[in-house]
């Protein structure tokens, strides 16, 4: 049995669905169910005897220890994190509590459990820490993509908190021998993503007839990774990754934010055209940039391809069309996540920048 933290979030829930479609190993999902955690993401597993959901905090050492020992967990896949840069700018403390202190307490619970396992089981145990390319800072237009040995230069409260968690995981391996592997991924997109992030935000605001907010000139570049490709990479790292190593996971798809928004508009023009025949691109508007906005991220994913044979299956074009189709076909899910709290956040973070 494996324990997946943040299992009701965007990437965590996609990972669980992907895992159970490929393996018979049972899964426990642990999630605090904050604003971005959504049990609706896992509705397809309601009657699956291999799946168990537990609402709780990774910082609750007693709960985590009980889950590890009671269910004889052989691997922990750690997704749980506060992950939105804009929210970290407005309020950093939640990011410090969850990403740093929460990861510390989780590591300690896992270390105590692992230390008490029989020798063979201890050797098979794994702690996989899921992190981000944002810990490496910002790249110039001509710079080579991030490798696993790139200098850490986090520029936001979010990326600083994730960098700290990466260092904790590394230290727990080198000091205590805890069998860990770390992954640093690029920008994920796909089904079940909470619509504070660029791609679902633009899809839903376009369909609602609202302005499509673009920070600054919209030329910030990101490497886009379809979420199921990310899940496949994590499965490979968990199965065959070298202990103590880091693996960059990227989509080889660098795109400027403005180009992404235009691509979404073109897909919606074809898949769900406006009644008046006008393009959704007419709704694009530029708003004030956020503080300290990193200009470019790019992942060099050659190590994971060379050592583990993984490479993304989706192009940006195929992944984006699947994503737009999913949001068009899942109106009930969309309606359930667009609460008054979410609308207040969008108004604070985008409308007031106009």
Q: Give the residue numbers annotated as catalytic, written as ranges.
A: 133-134, 158
- The Cα–Cα gap between 170 and 244 comes to 7
Q: What is the DSSP letter of 146?
A: B
- The Cα–Cα gap between 314 and 228 comes to 9
3-class SS at 340?
helix
Quote the radius of gyration of the chain (alpha carbons, Å).
20
What are the tokens at 8? 């009701």
Cβ contact 87:196 at 8 Å: yes
> β-strand 254-256 against 221-226: which pairing, if any?
antiparallel
Q: What is the DSSP letter of 343?
A: H
Within 8 A by CB and 6+ apart from 210, the residues are 283
Environment class of 34 (CB within 10 Å of its CB; exposed 0-12, middle 13-18, buried 19+): middle
Reported as type and span, the H/E element at residue 31 is: strand 27-31
Residues of 321-338 as b/e, b for ≥16 C-beta within 10 angstroms?
bbbbebbeeeeebbeebe
Cβ contact 263:185 at 8 Å: no
């Amino acid at each position: 049995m494996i324990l997946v933290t943040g299992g009701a979030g965007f990437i965590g829930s996609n990972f669980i669905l992907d895992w159970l479609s490929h393996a018979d190993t049972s899964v426990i999902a642990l999630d605090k169910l904050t604003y971005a955690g959504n049990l609706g993401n896992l509705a397809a597993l309601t009657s699956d005897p291999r799946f168990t959901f537990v609402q709780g905090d990774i910082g609750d050492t007693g709960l985590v220890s009980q889950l590890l020992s009671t269910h004889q967990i052989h691997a922990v896949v750690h997704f749980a994190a506060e992950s939105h840069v804009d929210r970290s700018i407005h309020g950093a403390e939640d990011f410090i509590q969850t990403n740093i202190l929460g990861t510390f307490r989780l590591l300690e619970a896992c270390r105590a459990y692992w230390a008490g396992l029989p020798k063979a089981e201890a050797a098979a145990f794994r702690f996989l820490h899921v992190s981000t390319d944002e810990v490496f800072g910002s790249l110039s237009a001509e710079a080579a993509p991030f490798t696993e040995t790139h200098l850490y230069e986090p520029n936001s409260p979010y990326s600083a908190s994730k960098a700290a968690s990466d260092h904790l995981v590394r230290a727990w391996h080198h000091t205590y021998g805890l069998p860990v592997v770390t992954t640093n991924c690029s920008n994920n997109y796909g089904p079940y993503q909470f619509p504070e992030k660029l791609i679902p935000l633009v899809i839903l605001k376009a369909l609602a007839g609202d302005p499509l907010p673009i920070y600054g000139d919209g030329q910030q570049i990101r490497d886009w990774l379809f979420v199921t490709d990310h899940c496949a990479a994590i499965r490979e790292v968990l199965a065959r990754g070298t202990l103590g190593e880091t693996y960059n996971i990227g989509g080889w798809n660098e795109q400027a934010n403005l180009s992404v928004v235009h691509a979404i508009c073109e897909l919606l023009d074809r898949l769900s055209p406006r009644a008046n025949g006008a393009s959704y691109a007419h709704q694009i508007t530029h708003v004030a940039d956020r503080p300290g906005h990193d200009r470019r991220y790019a992942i060099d994913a050659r190590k994971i391809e060379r050592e583990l044979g993984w490479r993304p299956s989706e192009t940006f074009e195929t992944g984006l069309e699947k994503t737009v189709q999913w949001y068009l076909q899942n109106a009930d899910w969309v309606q359930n996540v667009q609460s008054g709290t979410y609308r207040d956040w969008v108004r604070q973070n985008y409308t007031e920048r106009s």
